[in-house]
Amino acid sequence: MLTHAEVWSAIDRLAERSGLSASGLARRAGLDPTTFNKSKRVTAQGRARWPSTESIAKALTATATPFDAFVTLIEQSGTAATRAVPLLGFAEAGAGGYFDDGGFPAGEGWDEIAFPSVNDEHAYALEVSGQSMEPAYRDGDVIVVSPSAPIRRGDRVVVKTKGGEVLAQELKRRTAKTVELKSLNAQHPDRALAAAEVLWVARILWASQ
């Protein structure tokens, strides 16, 4: 299981190998200089505070560090286990044979990527292609998806329709009749789908960026 200490230690290692302090890494990433400070890692009440996906993504971009390299830093930080997660190109996800009716990966043609163990044994990764999801996700980014994770309003999700369309958008509202989605790209319209037309909805847990 991925731990709080391992993730923060990996961020420290990322800063060190870039010749930066934790504050320097935050500044280079365009964040508040205190974002990665040790004082920010635990609340005043003693609860663990995790770094946000966005802050990690910005740090990786600022240091030109691939996601796989960050996973290696996590492994070096402690005993975090990794496992092979099925990987598929986003453009291929709409074709038949890659998912079962529940949205779980199935069939042949999947590649693999190393990823820290997650609670969902059916988690998989999709590689983004094209610019339709910018600026949230860019061409070549890898998103890790959990078909078993609970979904709430505001979560980023992958949706597949009965027509074979696959969308990565933000969930605005979900009722027995409709699934309302907010586009991640301002140049593309929001969508409102009839629930009967939706095969499955799965939550995005992580993006490499």
- CATH topology match: 4-77 vs 82-207: no
pLDDT of 118 reads 64
The pTM score is: 0.59
Q: What is the pLDDT of residues 41-77, one digit of tens each?
A: 888 777 888 999 999 999 999 998 888 888 888 877 6
Q: Which of 157, 15, 30, 130 is closest to 77 using CA atoms?
A: 15
pLDDT of 205 reads 84
What is the arrangement of strands in the sheet containing 142-146, beginning at the earlier edge strand? Answer: 111-116, 82-89, 124-127, 142-146, 198-207, 156-161, 166-174, 178-182, 191-194
pLDDT at 121 over 80: no
Contact between residue 48 and residue 16 where contact means Cβ atoms under 8 Å apart: no
Confidence at 90, pLDDT banded by 50, 70, 90: confident
The domains of the chain are located at 4-77, 82-207
Q: Which of 188, 154, 160 is closest to 174 using CA atoms?
A: 154
pLDDT of 32 reads 92
C-alpha 125: how far from chain center: 9
Confidence at 80, pLDDT banded by 50, 70, 90: very low
* Region of poorest pLDDT, from 48-57, 71-80, 105-114, 149-158: 71-80
CATH superfamily, domain 82-207, is Umud Fragment, subunit A (2.10.109.10)
The percentage of the chain sitting over the pLDDT mark of 70, rounded to a whole number, equals 93
What would the mean pLDDT of 178-182 be, rounded to a whole number?
95
Structure tokens at 119: 């609670």
Fold of 4-77: 434 Repressor (Amino-terminal Domain) (1.10.260)
pLDDT of 208 reads 73
